Amino acid sequence: MQLTECFKILQVEPGAPWQVIKKSYYSLAKSLHPDINPQSPNAESQFKEINQAFQVLRLHFSSSDEKALVKVETKTWSFFLQRIVRNPKLQKWKGDCAAYLCQLDTRVFQLNVYKKIHVSTSTAQSGASIYLKAGREKFEIKVPSGSWNQMSLSIPGKGEPSLFSKRRGDLILNLQSPRIELVSKGASCFSYDMTIDKARIGSVMTLNSSEGPIKFVLPRNTVNGQTFCLKSRANSENKHVLTVRLN
C-alpha cells in the first residue's frame, strides 16, 4: 500500500504529523467498527483497510524517527570527540608522550651509528674523499688534510631511523691514520688539547706553549678532533701538536 493512499484512507492531508494521523484513525475506527455497524456489509472491510493504512504509516514514522535519532546521536558523538581531541590537557599529554618516545630513541634504541675507518698516511696528510654506504644510500665524505692520527667526523641524519618519529640518528666516523714521526732526532714533541668555539675559526688565536705563545689560524674546513703541527719559531726543531676540540 502506497503512503499517499494511506493518508487518503485515514482522511488526512499527505505529510500530516503523526498525532493528527492517530486522532483521525481512532475516530474512524470507532465509527467503522463492525460491532457498531452490524447492518453495514462494508464495515469489516473498511475497518481492515484503515487498520492496514495505520500500520503502514506507523512503520513509516517509526523508521523516520530512528533515522533522525541516529543522525542526532552521530552528530552528538562527533561534537563530543572533537571537544576531546581539542582539549588543551589532551594536547599537552600527546606532546609529553611524543617527547618521551623521542627520549626512548636515545636511551633504549641507539640511533647513532659509530664506524671506525683506517686511512693511509698520505690520505691523512693530503686530504681526500671516501665513499660510504648506509643501507641503500651512498654518499661522499671529505677527509680534511693535516698531520693527524685520529679524528672524529659527524654526518647528521645518516644513522638509524627512529621507530616513533621521522628523525634519524647521526653517523659518527672515527678516522684513524698510522702514527708518523713528527720530529727529528734530538727534537721534542709537545701535545696540546684546545677547546675552540666554531665561530672563532679563521681568526688569529694563541697557543701558550712550553716555548712561549704561538699565534695560529685554523682553516675554514677544520673539523672536531683534527690535529695541527705548530712551531714556536721558524728555526726550531721542536714540534707542538695541537688537537682541536670544537664546540
Q: What is the pLDDT of residue 205?
A: 92
pLDDT number for residue 70: 47
Grid cell 714540534 in the structure block, residue:
239
Question: Could you report the per-residue pLDDT of 3-39, keeping only the tens digit for each?
Answer: 888 888 888 888 888 888 888 888 888 887 777 777 7
Tell me what pLDDT residue 71 has: 57
199-227 average pLDDT score = 87
> Which sign, positive or negative, has the C-alpha torsion 107, 112, 113, 119?
negative
Which range (54-63, 88-97, 101-110) has the least confidence? 101-110
**Fold of the domain built from segment(s) 183-247:** HSP40/DNAj peptide-binding domain (2.60.260)
Instruction: Decide: helix, strand or coil at residue 132.
Output: strand
- CA neighbor of 160 nearest in space, from 150, 151, 172, 171: 171
Give me the CATH code for the 3-85 domain, please: 1.10.287.110
Position 74 scores a pLDDT of 61
The answer on pLDDT for 132 being more than 50 is: yes
Fold for the domain defined by 112-180: HSP40/DNAj peptide-binding domain (2.60.260)
Q: Is the pLDDT of residue 220 over 50?
A: yes
| Cα angle: 236, vertex 200, 113; to 5 degrees | 100
Q: What is the pLDDT of residues 36-83, one digit of tens each?
A: 777 777 778 888 888 888 888 888 878 765 555 445 556 666 776 777
What residue spans define the domains of the chain? 3-85, 112-180, 183-247
Distance, in Å, from the CA atom of 167 to the CA atom of 156, rounded to the nearest integer, reads 10
Q: What angle do CA 160, 162, 168 make, to 5 degrees?
A: 55
Alpha carbons 168 and 112: distance in angstroms, whole number = 8
Q: Which of 51, 8, 49 is nearest to 26 (CA)?
A: 51
